[in-house]
Structure 1
Amino acid sequence: MIETRRAVTGDATELVRLRAVMLGAMAGQPVEPGPWQQEALALLRTRLAEPDPVMAAYVVEVPGGAGLAACAVGAIDLRLGGPGNPSGRTGYVYNVVTDEAYRRRGFSRACMEALLGWFAERGVSTVDLRATADGEPLYRALGFAPVSHTALRLAVGQR
């Protein structure tokens, strides 16, 4: 059985490192260091220390070593309720990644299952994510299904 644990503030640096791994894999090239890392680090340190958190990360440690091999990070957003989600509590999953040397061992699945349990404990009945082609089979196996809505984004200040 794969041992996961809830991330603590001391894991923030490793979580940011894993985020760079994920973003690089999505872009097909390494991600340049920059101010985004300090912003992410500050946010993680704040959110992971909250007594009643709206963000959680579950991790698998490097077997027999120091550092993290995998993680799944998510947050709870409160939206207006509707027929399919009366409470409006919606989970959003992001930053699911396993370091390349530890892939195909079930680490991301274990992290995702722990994170989904955390959402369920907090009354979240709807969880969203965006999948890469590599991650989609895992998410479908966990019960995620396509939605009919078109995802759009506006980069404020860049129009």
Structure 2
Amino acid sequence: MIVRPATVDDIPELTRLRELLFKPLIDSDVPARTWEWQSAFERDMKERLGGDELGVFVIDGRDGDLAACGIGVVQYRLPTPYQANALAGYILGMVTDPAYRTLGYGRSIMNELLSWFQEKEVSRVELHATPEAAHLYRSMGFREHQISLTWHAP
């Protein structure tokens, strides 16, 4: 298995994997808005892929598809007593196609993302995990830090 940076040629597959990521949320208490998010996602990927603030890593599947991907962003935050450089990372798109799960792809991609964040001098990385994936992130040193709350505009 080889983890590699995503390219613009991967954008259709990144979109497919992103759809898989959000599929379980269909029954959530905040219904998805009906709009062409895929077009906006693909446009943003084309504009930002390869930039300093977006890291996207993938593992190729067997038939020209992507088996897994991970997306991380570097964010500016204000300095704190615990973090002088004011840079934080956020993982916003770890997903493995069901046909490739339990093969270690998520761990490999997360290791690549954490290395990428370290190269960017990011010392704190946050994520939201599904109950099924939380054990993976805990085994890699992530821990519960604070209660996470989300507000959605009406």
Deviation at 1:37, TM superposition (A): 0.8
Q: Which among 119, 126, 131 is matched to residue 129 of structure 2? A: 131
Aligned 1:9-158 pairs, distance under 5 A: 9-27=8-26, 34-50=35-51, 53-63=52-62, 65-148=63-146, 150-156=147-153, 158=154
CA distance in 2: counterparts of 1:27 and 1:103, whole angstroms: 21
Give the whole-Å Cα distance in 2 for the aligned partners of 1:17 and 1:101.
14
Deviation at 1:140, TM superposition (A): 0.4
> Could you say what the CA RMSD is over the residues aligned between the two structures, in angstroms?
1.9
How much does 1:95 deviate?
1.0
Give distance in 2, aligned partners of 1:118 and 1:144: 16
Unmatched runs of 5 consecutive residues or more in structure 1: none
**One-letter amino acid of the counterpart of residue 3, structure 1:** I
Q: Distance in 2 between matches of 1:28 and 1:111?
A: 28
Paired residues in the alignment total 151
Q: How far apart are residue 84 of structure 1 and its match?
A: 1.4
Distance in structure 2 (CA, Å) of the matches to 1:93 and 1:75: 7
- The answer as to whether partners of 1:70 and 1:99 remain within 8 angstroms in 2 is yes
Deviations 1:63-121 (A, max 9, x none): 3x202000110100011011211111000001101101111100111111101100001
CA contact (8 A) 1:26 1:132 kept: no
Taking structure 2 as the reference length, the TM-score comes to 0.91
Cα contact 1:82–1:88 (8 A) shared by 2: yes
TM-score under structure 1 length normalisation: 0.88
Asked if 2 retains the 8 angstrom alpha-carbon contact of 1:61 and 1:70, the reply is: yes
- Structure 2: where are the runs of 5+ without partners? none
Contact 1:4 1:114 in 2 (8 A): yes
* 3-state secondary structure, aligned to 1:74: strand
- Looking at structure 2, the residues matched to 145 and 6 of structure 1 have their Cα atoms a distance apart, in angstroms, of 27
